Structure 1
Amino acid sequence: MSQPTPGSVTEKTFSAYTPEQSEKYASARHDYHSSLYETVLKYHSATGGELGVLLDVGCGPGNVTRALGSRFTEAIGLDPSCGMLETARSLGGTTSTSLPIRYELGSAEQLGENLERPIEEGSVDLITAANAAHWFDMPAFWTAAARVLKPGGTVALWTSGNVTSHPSVPNAEAIKAAFDKHHEDHLVAYYEPGNFLTRNRYATLPLPWTIATPIPDFDKTTFFRKDWELGETFYTGEQEIGMDMLEKMMSSSSPQVRWHQAHPDLVGTDKDIVRILRREIERLLHEAGVEKGKERVMGTVQGSLLMVKHRM
């Protein structure tokens, strides 16, 4: 299947979420491990970044905004989905100075330029985007990021790959093959351009110096990348989970959501592709000697973090 140009299709799945869908999404998605947050903060601080203003773009229900916002004087979560923002606001969060986190409706391409309280030029210390940059129009994002960042400010973008089975799970190789087959047979047809970027863990994500009109405000020599491989902890929830939670987590991915939207009569039935995957994993666990009723897997993902600095 050909891979469309990133940014050629606007993300319409999560941005259209209702508050009820957003709550389900939040309950199915684990937070990122503290080691990821510490990597971001360590690089940011070691390269002259300050802890003034955090701007979390595509914040969704606000996990990252709350986790990192507690270390900053001011924190703003930006998302194009009213439903996601309602969930984020209900969960709240405060900054290092006990200010409430702001959650605002906005896009990665404008970065708060049109808000009632606009994000001022040169006011932001750290911009983050967790599992979201693959939906951005990257040239427009980099232009906006250059505008709002302070000199010496940082952009941190990260993504996770596909969910698979930890090597310690009984029959792990066969279960990994089942996950891979599920993606290839059922989900790739429901991919949008951004999903291909997550599969290669942002190897081809457009950067300020690779876009058609490079943005000179960013220093290529400061580029930093860190990869988490299978078995390394990227999410806090990389632990044993039951089949109900597995099904819930798998159902929250955007290609799976689009499959469900295309097959509403099959959702939750024996012909639901997530249910089919679940049954296959259960079979493989039983084959390895796991008793019925005790089926559990340890999910794991690969992840990648990309960071770059605004010139001083």
Structure 2
Amino acid sequence: MRFQDHFSRQASTYAQYRPSYPEDLFDWLACQASRRGLAWDVATGSGQSAVALAQRFTEVIATEPSAAQLANAARRPNINYRQEPAERASLADGSADLITVAQALHWFDLPAFLTEAARVLRPGGVLAVWCYELFSVDADIDAIVADYYHGTVGPYWPPERRWLEQGYAGLALPYASLATPAFTMALDWNLDMLLGYLASWSATQRYRDERQHDPLPEIRNRLAAAWGEPAHTRRINWPLTVQACRKPA
């Protein structure tokens, strides 16, 4: 399966504006792992999850097929970044205590990745995947964003996006599922931060490429009318879905 590169062109924007995941998610993952030696963060992007895992595990190997994404990744002494696909990793058999996939599983050749994860995960180790859906702010802003998401750039989303829209419903993990608590994913952003996030969307980039036109100025004007003072921060909420399973010991 050829690597689907939807983010290299806007890698620096992606690194700056992609939302971070809640700390209690990583606390929970660390508690589920019976050992905290090695965590493998798959399709790490610019390393949002890898950095959080590095605070809780002795070593993190973070793999990512995009060189541009890795060039923008946050460095830590115990993070080993490797440019390689999810389906063919250079990790040793049975070496990982935890494998994580954040907002990326829908891009994989799933059977090939699950085979590779089974090889790399040690007995008793945990595989965890998660995704987030379209954010919400308030009724007025949500309506404008929904029109942009479904209307303006709607035709430019890749078909794999449907997995996020359904919160990975129907995903079959290879081992017995772990009961996962509810996690809250929220950040306080001003208008420019929100627009930076919209700029990081793959559909925004594809719209620009195919139509030779930037759709963001128009939505900025619409959002500004509903937002108020642009520097004012508002709470941005994303529905976060987490699924996890444990390999038999």
Taking structure 2 as the reference length, the TM-score comes to 0.91
Offset from partner CA, 1:10-61 (integer Å, 9 cap, x none): 52212xx15xx3222111123212122122223x23xxx2111110000111
* Contact 2:3–2:85, Cα closer than 8 Å, also in 1: no
Alignment of 1:197-236 (within 5 A): 197-208=163-174, 218=175, 220=176, 222-228=177-183, 233-235=184-186
Equivalents in 1 of 2:59, 2:159: separation in Å? 33
TM-superposed deviation, 1:154: 0.6
Does residue 309 (structure 1) correspond to residue 246 (structure 2)? The answer is yes
Equivalents in 1 of 2:59, 2:84: separation in Å? 17
Alignment of 1:283-294 (within 5 A): 283-285=225-227, 290=228
TM-superposed deviation, 1:294: 5.6
Match of 1:192 in 2: 158
TM-superposed deviation, 1:194: 2.1
Match of 1:38 in 2: 27
Distance change (3 Å), C-alpha of 1:308 and 1:293 = closer
Does residue 124 (structure 1) correspond to residue 96 (structure 2)? The answer is yes
The letter for the 2-side match of 1:94 is P
Match of 2:80 in 1: 102
Match of 1:11 in 2: 4
Equivalents in 2 of 1:127, 1:111: separation in Å? 12
The letter for the 1-side match of 2:67 is C
* Contact 1:134–1:205, Cα closer than 8 Å, also in 2: no
Match of 1:168 in 2: none
Match of 1:3 in 2: none
Q: How many residues align?
A: 249
Match of 2:237 in 1: 300
* Contact 1:282–1:295, Cα closer than 8 Å, also in 2: no
What secondary structure is seen at the aligned counterpart in 2 of 1:164?
coil
What secondary structure is seen at the aligned counterpart in 1 of 2:14?
helix
Does residue 51 (structure 1) correspond to residue 29 (structure 2)? The answer is no
Q: Which runs of 5+ in 2 are unaligned?
A: none
Offset from partner CA, 1:173-231 (integer Å, 9 cap, x none): 122122222211123311213211111111133433xxxxxxxxx2x2x3334444xxx
Which of 104, 117, 135 is the aligned partner of 1:163? 135
Query: What is the identity percentage for the equivalent residue pairs of Structure 1 and Structure 2?
Result: 28
Which of 195, 206, 210 is the aligned partner of 1:247? 195
Equivalents in 1 of 2:47, 2:69: separation in Å? 8
Taking structure 1 as the reference length, the TM-score comes to 0.74
* Contact 1:128–1:156, Cα closer than 8 Å, also in 2: yes
State the Cα RMSD in Å: 2.1
Which of 69, 89, 96 is the aligned partner of 1:111? 89
Does residue 22 (structure 1) correspond to residue 11 (structure 2)? The answer is yes
Does residue 257 (structure 1) correspond to residue 205 (structure 2)? The answer is yes
Equivalents in 2 of 1:227, 1:204: separation in Å? 19
The letter for the 2-side match of 1:29 is R
* Contact 2:173–2:245, Cα closer than 8 Å, also in 1: no
* Contact 1:197–1:204, Cα closer than 8 Å, also in 2: no
TM-superposed deviation, 1:163: 2.2
